[in-house]
Amino acid sequence: MDYQTEFRRSIDQPEAFWRDKANAIDWIRPPEEIWKATDNGHGQWFPDGLINTCDVALDANIRAGRGDQTALIYDSPVTDTRQSYTYRELTDQVARFAGVLREQGVAPGDRVIIYMPMIPQAVFAMLACARLGAVHSVVFGGFAAHELAVRITDATPRVIVTASCGIEVSKVIPYKPLVDRAIEEAEHKPERCIVFQREEVTAELQPGRDLDWETQMASARAVDPVPVAATDPLYILYTSGTTGKPKGVVRDNGGHAVALRYSMELVYGARPGNVFWAASDVGWVVGHSYIVYGPLFMGCTTILYEGKPVKTPDAGAFWRVVQDHGVDYLFTAPTAFRAVRKEDPEADLLATYDVSSLKRLFLAGERLDPATYEWLREHTGLPVLDHWWQTETGWAICCNPVGIEEFPTKPGSATMPSPGFNVQVVDPQGQPMPAGMQGQVAVKLPLPPGCLTTVWGDDQRFRKTYLNPIPGFYSSGDGGFIDEDGYVFIMGRTDDVINVAGHRLSTGEMEEVVASHPAVAECCVVGANDELKGQIPVGLVLLKDGATIDPDELEEELIDMVREKIGAIACFRRAMVVERLPKTRSGKILRRVIRQIADGDEWAVPSTIDDPSILDEIQQRFHR
């Protein structure tokens, strides 16, 4: 079936379409009803179906004869450790840890917070919650105690699962003191804290509350999958909110399993037995969808990597993992390859590894700038496929649908809407914009399976944030355009559009131009307040290793490039070379904080930042 036929059927006959896709997974009781509208403008998928997500991920593969296939590979350059688990071995670990949780009173619907580094036990804990019908909420390991406390208060977990420490390159970060402080600060007090002791640090356990992982596992009884309604929550994943209070994105069991199983084939072209590596963290949505759940739903081998794209030990780290484990598909964020490109601009380290197993490279999480796209294409010779999605959607809104039909790529475009996503570019009143004209990127309701169903404990916030801004649509918060060929271009968050003397201009478009300079490894353009023009763009530029250009000379060249490609109307007149760009731990540039610094407004150090000292350096550069 070609893409257009598949897409049209998903929009015109959604119930028949998703009934077919639901047949690809093992149900405990298959759904008769496919879609049930609700009064919040959205609805429920497969409302009368019974399922267990862990059963779909693990037991179903054993029933299909894949019990002895490797399910999970753990590769940790920071501890020089490698382990692998077959589907049968992984099921045993998960079923027994589910028994540990059940012994502590965890029942269907109870919440469990998982605050873990990238170790197999994090995956065991997630799947064990799913096996019990409990709701897991993974909090990125190393988040500050206050941020963990906020999530404990909101999710009210019965149990917290943690480890004695995490490792950032060569720095060991004890987790237990952070957990203790978070519990002390939180309004809700969990009954138990289960701690996995790592060799690098031994955590002190609090009698009466804290339990040792290994001790509990030694006497644990394995638990069978517990049937739950397809509409019951599988997990809560917190994402940043503009009010400062994180939003708890809720994912259901049934729609999630159906959508992710379909996406593995549609978006990535994966098949059972393939080795799939999402180089992310289980604390982020990519880790949920494509380290843990999606690959296992498909019967793939998935890789859990405890390391960085650089410095563990060098910029060849990703290529080494591909070679050692025969990776078929690699998915990561553009920022990872920008870091690799900065340290190894000619890809000399790539040439030292055999990466012939790789079929495709996938990028998402932020906009794939054309410079990074071209660098990867040139040095790997592989298809480099951008796709666009969000924590809220759980899988790709737009992709190159290689599982059905592979389209020619256009740098800067995430290609076509995924079947199920009726993507439109609209003005603030919800009216369609002409081809090539920028506007707000929105998805006509209802959203397909796998997307968020609400915000935990605050459905009003769900409606206000996502449904009310553009009636009849899911508001993505991103701006972009659709060209005359139907390709979707995401230009960045709508608040990354600046108004220069009455002209609305995209900072993403300017970043494309700046990043194309041969000396530039990475850049960020923000709008700073200006008395005369309202706003003017300012660029922060990170140089490639070995680049020797004078900063003033570079600034002149970048100004000329933006003038030539966009025009004098852009008023791009300032580009500062910086040592580092401020980023979250997941690799996203903190543009809003940079804007606040540029404008001289009050700003706070975000809990998600990788290195807070960078912000002080940038403030000095702006206001010296």
Between 511 and 107, the higher pLDDT residue: 107
DSSP 179: H
pLDDT for 248? 96
- pLDDT above 70 coverage of the chain, percent: 94
DSSP 503: E
Tens-digit pLDDT profile for residues 38-68: 876 689 999 999 999 999 999 999 999 999 9
Tens-digit pLDDT profile for residues 478-489: 889 999 999 999
How many whole angstroms separate alpha carbon 302 and alpha carbon 275?
6
pTM of this structure: 0.85
Q: Is the pLDDT of residue 504 over 60?
A: no
Residue with tokens 């959508």: 259
How many whole angstroms separate alpha carbon 518 and alpha carbon 280?
28
DSSP 23: T
Residue with tokens 């170790």: 119
Those residues whose C-beta lies under 8 Å from the C-beta of residue 354, and which sit 6 or more positions away, are 323
Check if the beta carbon of residue 63 is closer than 8 Å to that of residue 23: no
Residue with tokens 């999480």: 365
Check if the beta carbon of residue 141 is closer than 8 Å to that of residue 195: no
What would the mean pLDDT of 451-457 be, rounded to a whole number? Answer: 96
Q: How many CA atoms lie within 13 A of 361 on its CB side?
A: 26
How many whole angstroms separate alpha carbon 335 and alpha carbon 364?
10
pLDDT for 81? 97
pLDDT for 244? 54
Could you give the C-alpha distances from 83 to 59, 122, 218, 303, 348, in angstroms and in order?
21, 14, 20, 10, 29
How do strand 398-399 and strand 416-417 relate by DSSP bridges? antiparallel
The answer to whether the bond into 446 is cis (omega within 30° of 0) is yes
Check if the beta carbon of residue 540 is closer than 8 Å to that of residue 551: no
Between 494 and 447, the higher pLDDT residue: 447
The answer to whether the bond into 313 is cis (omega within 30° of 0) is yes
Q: Is the pLDDT of residue 122 over 60?
A: yes
How many whole angstroms separate alpha carbon 473 and alpha carbon 457?
22
The CA dihedral of 575, 576, 579, 585, to the nearest 10 degrees, is -60
What would the mean pLDDT of 276-290 be, rounded to a whole number? Answer: 95
How many whole angstroms separate alpha carbon 256 and alpha carbon 393?
10
pLDDT for 243? 46
Tens-digit pLDDT profile for residues 327-376: 999 999 888 898 899 899 999 999 999 999 999 999 998 778 788 899 99
Sequence-distant contacts of 561-565: CB under 8 A, at least 24 apart: 561/513, 561/514, 561/516, 561/517, 562/510, 562/513, 562/514, 562/537, 565/513
Among 391-400, 475-484, 559-568, the minimum mean pLDDT is found in 559-568
Q: Is the pLDDT of residue 402 over 60?
A: yes
How do strand 497-500 and strand 473-482 relate by DSSP bridges? unpaired
For 343, phi then psi, to 5°, come to -85, -20
Q: What's the 3-state SS for 334-385?
A: HHHHHHHHHHCCCCCCHHHCCCCCCCEEEECCCCCCHHHHHHHHHHHCCCEE
**Beta-carbon count within 10 A of 425 CB:** 21
Tens-digit pLDDT profile for residues 79-119: 999 999 999 999 999 999 999 999 999 999 999 999 999 99
**Which domains, from first to last, does the chain contain?**
3-307+387-480 (3.40.50.12780), 501-623 (3.30.300.30)
pLDDT for 136? 98
**Beta-carbon count within 10 A of 43 CB:** 16
What does the mean pLDDT of the chain come to? Answer: 92
* 159-163, strands of its sheet edge to edge: 210-212, 192-196, 159-163, 111-115, 135-138, 233-239, 247-252, 454-455
Those residues whose C-beta lies under 8 Å from the C-beta of residue 241, and which sit 6 or more positions away, are 247, 465
Those residues whose C-beta lies under 8 Å from the C-beta of residue 44, and which sit 6 or more positions away, are 35, 36, 38, 230, 231, 252, 453
